[in-house]
Amino acid sequence: MGAGLFHTLNIGEHALHASRQGVDTASHNISNANVEGYSRQRVDVRSRTPLFTHGLVLGSGAYVKDITRSHNQFVERQLNRAHQLSGEATGRFEALKTLESIFSPELASGVSDEITNFFNSLQDLSVSPEDMSIRTAVRESARNVIGSFKRVDSEIRQRRLDINDIVTQECSEINGRLKNIASLNQQIQEMEVTPGAFANDLRDQRDMILRELTEKVEINYYEDEYGNFCIRGPQDISLVDRNYVAEFTVSANDKNDGFADILITDSDGGSKRNVTRMLDGGRLKGLVEVRDNICKDIIDRNNDMAVKFTSRVNDIHKKGYGIKNFDESTGRNFFKPVESLANAARDLDLSADISDSVEAISVAGTPLAGGDNIVINEMLGLKHEKMMDGGNSDLIEFYSTYIGNLGIEINRSTHLKEANDLVVNDLQTQREAVSGVSLDEEAVSLMKWQSNFTASSKVITTVDEMLETVLSLKR
């Protein structure tokens, strides 16, 4: 009789433990309801192995098998993939938006506007070739053209530097996340040595860091038999494998104007692989593409336009004659000749003769003919000359085309970012439906476990009274 009662007492004790564990878990869920990346946990209660005694099979109560988290690996992988695409679109969008202000139509100093103003001033000069104030206006208009070319060149180069700094910073943040994942791998493995033990909170943290990592760079990952995340990066390069952690480093590339190449370095520093042109997703790819392709293309087009414009003006200007001290001399450049195509816009300037005296501006086609406007009229023809794109566009058309293409690219990146954000939000909603904490459900769960605890306590109280009765039989 006594052994039987102690067996019943054990059932009550186990029931109390299970109920208390249920209250603890519900409380833990409630306290983490607003923690990003947290997965709702639940207590898995199972029946104990029954006993066979006196020809009967007696129940032995219940026990807590484990505490698991509500987690859908399929949705999680989809979400990580969506974050990778969203990261690339966001990096590209943010980098392109910084370029938009350079070519804002609200600016009064755009290249096309200044070139138009320059030709308008030449038009005025063709009417009054000897008017000194108009000649001064022509020189100032030319300086404004130079300033507009230089401004575009300078600001685009500065944007490239800014993006390059962000690339370096992103690599540093990637390294921090890789190290954190490796550290969590070790902690999870240590905590899950006991069968049935799950480091749920640490796994949530690791999933959150992994999600942030997928947003920054292309990765693939799997979980090994010990619960470790093994991560592969671009070109299937190993990034994390148990205690092994690779590192993202940067190295200046002289062939790319000194901008940073992205290298993956082994943990022992023995091997370095350049992955700058191998990125296939993530924020890094979007940033590098804008820095090395779009910005570089704008700089090249701006330089090409500057070279063609100044060279053609010089070709015609050298044939003419100025006034007063320059009415018998010819062969003068209007702009300083370009020496380097790569730095054409940056080095653009007026020739020394024009800078020193507006009398040196060539207008006439013959010497000692101040009122002759033959050369200036020929220069005016440059406004509509098809000198760009292999003879398919004039200056203004060329400028409008490449700025229009930039605008299209910005709009495309905007729509792509919005589309990817929608996918991420939808998958995040799906994840929350499985893993999110509902305060109403947890409140109900608390009441359920509280009721179980009260009933279990009653079992123990009842057994205690029964034991007192048994003991009193001796008296």
Confidence label for 201 from pLDDT (cuts 50, 70 and 90): very high
The mean-pLDDT minimum among 118-132, 316-330, 357-371 falls in: 357-371
- Give the length of the chain: 475
Instruction: Find residue 252's DSSP bridge partners.
Output: 260
What pLDDT, on the 0 to 100 scale, is given for residue 475? 61
* Mean pLDDT, residues 198-215: 94
Using DSSP, state whether 75 is helix, strand or coil: helix
What's the pLDDT tens digit per position in 108-117? 568 999 999 9
What's the pLDDT tens digit per position in 109-145? 689 999 999 999 999 999 999 999 999 999 999 999 9
100 vs 296, more confident: 296
Residue 68 predicted with pLDDT over 60: yes
DSSP 23-51: HHHHHHHHHTTTSTT---EEEEEEEPPPE
Using DSSP, state whether 228 is helix, strand or coil: coil
* Mean pLDDT, residues 367-386: 89
The mean-pLDDT minimum among 101-105, 123-127, 213-217, 223-227 falls in: 101-105
CB 174 within 8 A of CB 287: no
| Side chain identity at residue 110, one-letter code | G
Alpha-carbon distance of 58 to 426, in angstroms, equals: 50
Confidence label for 1 from pLDDT (cuts 50, 70 and 90): very low
Residue 55 predicted with pLDDT over 50: yes
Alpha-carbon distance of 306 to 382, in angstroms, equals: 13
The mean-pLDDT minimum among 2-11, 147-156, 189-198, 453-462 falls in: 2-11
Alpha-carbon distance of 21 to 29, in angstroms, equals: 12
Alpha-carbon distance of 161 to 51, in angstroms, equals: 75
H-run or E-run covering 223: strand 220-223
Residue 352 predicted with pLDDT over 80: yes
CB 102 within 8 A of CB 439: no
Buried b / exposed e over 192-207, threshold 16 CB at 10 Å, is beeeeebbbbbbbbbb
Residue 468 predicted with pLDDT over 50: yes
Alpha-carbon distance of 227 to 139, in angstroms, equals: 73
Confidence label for 253 from pLDDT (cuts 50, 70 and 90): very high
Query: Percent of the chain having pLDDT more than 70?
Result: 97
Q: Give the residue among 249, 267, 255, 360 at the shortest CA–CA distance from 314.
A: 360
| Side chain identity at residue 395, one-letter code | L
What's the pLDDT tens digit per position in 152-191? 999 999 999 999 999 999 999 999 999 999 999 999 999 9
Using DSSP, state whether 193 is helix, strand or coil: coil
What pLDDT, on the 0 to 100 scale, is given for residue 269? 66
Confidence label for 339 from pLDDT (cuts 50, 70 and 90): confident
The overall average pLDDT reported for the chain is 91
Angle between helices 73-100 and 200-216 (to 10 degrees): 40
Ramachandran quadrant class, 424 (left: phi over 0; alpha: psi -120 to 50; beta: rest):
alpha
What pLDDT, on the 0 to 100 scale, is given for residue 226? 85
What's the pLDDT tens digit per position in 390-410? 999 999 999 999 899 999 999
Confidence label for 2 from pLDDT (cuts 50, 70 and 90): very low
Record the tokens describing residue 326, joined without a space: 């320059």
103 vs 247, more confident: 247
Confidence label for 107 from pLDDT (cuts 50, 70 and 90): low
Confidence label for 382 from pLDDT (cuts 50, 70 and 90): very high
